Structure 1
């Protein structure tokens, strides 16, 4: 579950923390009222995780990293494909007047794109996060319908929690390696 470089673990904590806060925010579109304080707490904890990851990554910026010219280029291609596929799907869902499915679509694309990222970075923890985000994306619609909730609340909370735990785990890995 551990990456070779402190900087890579710290930056992963930053990225996961930042995006966890975004997912907790998306969940606040129309959640059950009792979820509001949990979602706000998740957003705050996610941002604190991102800040700690950014600070630790900055302190170790000159240390080793898995990124080189080839890795950086491949990473950029994977992320570019992710953004393109997510945008195309959201656009198609808007045309079909199925915007409520945008959040699970984006979560599915995020989960699937994390598999090649995990392999590229040689960071097994990211495989776990990828699998869990993908499961959340697939399960969100039936769970939301069965419980008469908005899909964005279910997928936002689930994806936010997975990314936050992944971010906190990466931060702990970076701190223990430090």
Structure 2
């Protein structure tokens, strides 16, 4: 059973990591106003969420009764994230070689979405699965947009994934705040 301290620490880490990555996704698209302004505000909100997450995680790890680290889960986490980065990097490189670098955000978002599926049991957060599927859906929409129109893929995928990650980061903080003692 996860203690309240462990839950708050995990929620803080979730908000920290996803807040930072949401800000990165908001910076993917090159956009003109008013979308540029919206993306900038999204980045600021994501970074503020990350800072709050860091504070919550720090407070959770300082409190007595914090659960001990699970070294096996840490190794699985690092393996999953390492594979994610390797696949995204290799895929982006192959797309660039093929002259399809405009579709890099689609590939990377699909890899990011898929990586949440095996992370859900490792992090003991079943809601990462729907997040992963939603991120994959954004990748699919970006693919269809890129193939079916002259619209740029970056704004579609960057905005969509940024909103999903920011929303999940904020939700993690609220879940920790209202979790039972």
What TM-score do you get using the length of structure 2 for normalisation?
Answer: 0.89
Range that drifts further, 33-42 or 139-148: 139-148
Quote how far apart the aligned CAs of 1:149 are.
2.0
Alignment RMSD (CA, Å):
2.1
> Structure 2: which 5+ runs fail to align?
none
SS of 2:105's equivalent in the other structure is helix
Match of residue 45 from structure 2: 45
Residue in structure 2 matched with residue 164 of structure 1 by the alignment: 166
How does 1:98-113 map onto structure 2 within 5 Å? Answer: 98-113=100-115
Task: Verify the 8 A CA contact 1:32 1:149 in the aligned structure 2.
Answer: no
Residues 151-178 of structure 1 show CA distances to partners (whole Å, capped at 9, x for unaligned) of 0111000000000100100111122238
Q: CA deviation at 1:66?
A: 8.1
Q: State the match for 2:59 in structure 1.
A: 59
Residue 17 of structure 1, aligned match among 16, 19, 26 = 19
Deviation at 1:33, TM superposition (A): 3.1
Q: Which residue is 2:93 aligned to?
A: 91
Using CA pairs under 8 Å that are at least 6 residues apart, name the structure with larger relative contact order, 1 or 2.
1
- Partner secondary structure for residue 101 of structure 1: helix
137-146 or 160-169, larger mean C-alpha shift: 137-146
Equivalent residues of 1:17, 1:167 under 8 A apart: yes
Superposition map of 1:67-146 within 5 A: 67-144=69-146, 146=148
Give the whole-Å Cα distance in 1 for the aligned partners of 2:91 and 2:146: 20
Which stretch has the larger CA shift, 16-25 or 134-143? 134-143
Aligned-partner Cα distance in 1 for 2:129–2:58:
25
Matched residues in 2 for 1:129 and 1:65: separation? 26
Q: Indicate the larger mover: 81-90 or 143-152.
A: 143-152
SS of residue in 2 equivalent to 1:56: helix
Whole-angstrom distance in 1 between the partners of 2:35 and 2:147: 17
The number of aligned residues is: 175
